Amino acid sequence: MQYPLSEKIGDPALLVGREYEFNYFDKWLANIPKRLSKSRVIIARRKSGKTAFVQRIFNQLWSENGVVIPFYFEFGENHIWYPDLAIKYYCTFASQYISFLERDSQLANNSLSLEEINQYAVTHSMTQMIRDTKFLLQNTVGGHDLLWDTACSAPHRYADFFNRRFLVILDEFQYITHVYRNENFNGKPEGSLPGSYNSLSESKIAPMLVTGSYPNWLLKLMSHHLKGGRLKQVRFSPYLTEDEGLQAVYQYAQFYEQAITNESALQINQLCMADPFFISCVILSDYEDKDLTTSEGVINTVNYEISTKTAEMSLTWAEYIEDTVAQVNNLKAKNILLYLSKHNERYFTPTELQRALKLDLDVNEIRRQLIILKEADLIQQGISDIQFAGLQDGTLNLVLRNRFEEEIKGAAPNFKEEFMRQI
């Protein structure tokens, strides 16, 4: 297998497990040539392996050199001017298409300019591409909507015109809201761009595979702009199976030349809950006295990653938590968050939380704070509008307890003792 698209995970061998997910999507990919595959959206938090997974799908399809041509585009967190996005999007698509046709792996990562794409199209008599590049080159100043329409519709139009099949992989789709009509980023960002994919998401000749790291943000965009279940949701767990997690421990330890034992490997996997990102944080931890060959050393290192604000594991969750605390910065909201996280096996109504926590808050105020917590992807909402539950994410629970438990209960959690009992 070749890897024309550089995978963010680093060495391809570091992508471990995900047997169930790959089997699921292999069946889906096999149906694209038959025009039977509906667009999908993968929903999961950051550092759950989504990007590595979809980039592997790109490389798999590129290497197979079969009927389905992959296109991968990542929406960035930074603000971008509308025409710049259109040109970047089209150049990425056209370059990856040419990369596939010519078996030139360099073009998967290094996009050609519009002029270079036009020259290629003229040489190979690709009239559709000639028209597009000429239009984009001649309208960089005005006609922003038409520029973007030309760019985002290209995979579907080319699939139709050339009788091809494309897979459109759009990574971190929620950042499409960071696009501005004003070159100086004045005013509000362009809010209608997700709607560009309203009909394109129904394409059976160029179906979409979308990802997002902020579930509520992404679902809100879909509910406003991609209605009617145009993207079938696939929930992507950050956790591997127990066996896959243990494989990840050994793999990471070998690559990073970190000494472990068979016993400590089991302990790392157990305390990290088979979360590959958590495992990598422990293997690569900057903990000064790190020793992953003993139970005490494993416990101390895991505790460091959870309890130290500058540790990578703690920092990953911090960005989810900080914005929420700024909006609901009171002891009662934190108490609600901790309680739901601890009892994440069931849903609670605002009235039940009011009684269980003896909150001197109006039920409507409790619900308002629950909505804020939900929109920050720290809790989830049930089928009814008044049901809320903590995320079934053990890592989040540990970080939340480390941040808030002392403030609420008057005593900090003793993770070392808990970890010792656990193993």
Tens digit of each residue's pLDDT (9 = 90 or more) over 339-368: 888 888 899 999 999 999 888 888 998 998
Strands 165-171 and 388-390: unpaired
Asked if residue 27 has pLDDT above 70, the reply is yes
Task: Kindly state the tokens that stand for 102.
Answer: 């010519």
Confidence of residue 408 (pLDDT cuts 50, 70, 90): confident
Cβ–Cβ under 8 Å, residues 19 and 69: no
Whole-angstrom distance, CA of residue 177 vs CA of residue 194: 8
Q: Which residue has the higher pLDDT, 110 or 394?
A: 110
| Predicted pLDDT of residue 200 | 93
For residue 335, give both structure tokens. Answer: 């108490």
In this prediction, residues 65-84 reach a mean pLDDT of 93
**In this prediction, what percent of the chain has a pLDDT beyond 70?**
96
Where do we find the tokens 């059976």? 204
Q: What is the model's pLDDT at position 142?
A: 60
Spell out the domain ranges in the chain: 12-235, 242-308, 320-415
CA distance 299 to 318: 22
Q: What pLDDT, on a 0 to 100 scale, did the predictor assign at position 140?
A: 66
* Interval 390-414 mean pLDDT: 79
Cβ atoms 324, 362 nearer than 8 A: no
Q: What are phi and psi of 330, to 5 degrees?
A: -145, 160
Least confident of 214-228, 253-267, 324-338, 371-385: 324-338
Would strands 40-43 and 232-235 be described as parallel, antiparallel, or unpaired? parallel
Residue 141 has pLDDT above 80, yes or no: no
Tell me the three state secondary structure of residue 107.
Answer: helix
Domain over 320-415 is classified CATH 1.10.15.40: no
Closest by Cα among 195, 264, 265, 263 to 230: 195
Q: What is the pLDDT of residue 323?
A: 61
- Out of 102-106, 227-231, 236-240, give the one with best mean pLDDT: 102-106
| Range 77-96 average pLDDT | 93
On the question of pLDDT at 25 being above 80, the answer is yes
Class of domain 12-235: alpha beta
**pLDDT tens digit string along 235-293?**
888 899 999 999 999 999 999 999 999 999 999 999 999 999 999 999 999 999 999 99
Confidence at 324, pLDDT banded by 50, 70, 90: low
- Give the integer Cα–Cα distance in Å for 310 and 4: 34
Question: What span, in angstroms and rounded, lies between the C-alpha atoms of 63 and 5?
Answer: 11
Across residues 35-63, what is the average pLDDT?
A: 92
- Is residue 221 predicted with pLDDT exceeding 90? no
DSSP string, 41-85: EEE--TTSSHHHHHHHHHHHHHHHTSSEEEEEEE--SS-EEHHHH
Residue 98 has a pLDDT of 97
Closest CA to 46 of 394, 377, 400: 377
- Average pLDDT on 187-206 reads 89
CB neighbour list of residue 254: distance below 8 Å, 6 or more residues apart: none
Q: What percent of the chain has pLDDT over 90?
A: 56
Top pLDDT among 224 and 50 is at 50
* Beta strands 379-381 and 388-390, pairing class: antiparallel
Per-residue pLDDT, averaged over 333-343, amounts to 85
Judge whether residue 417 has pLDDT over 80: yes
- pLDDT of amino acid 53: 95
40-43 vs 179-180, strand pairing mode: unpaired
Label residue 156 by pLDDT band (50, 70, 90).
Answer: very high
Instruction: Give the residue-averaged pLDDT of 307-311.
Output: 86
**Three-state secondary-structure class, residue 174:** helix
pLDDT computed for residue 285 by the predictor: 93
**Contact in structure between 373 and 352 (CB atoms under 8 Å):** no
CA distances from 19 to 54, 243, 278, 368 (A): 14, 11, 19, 40
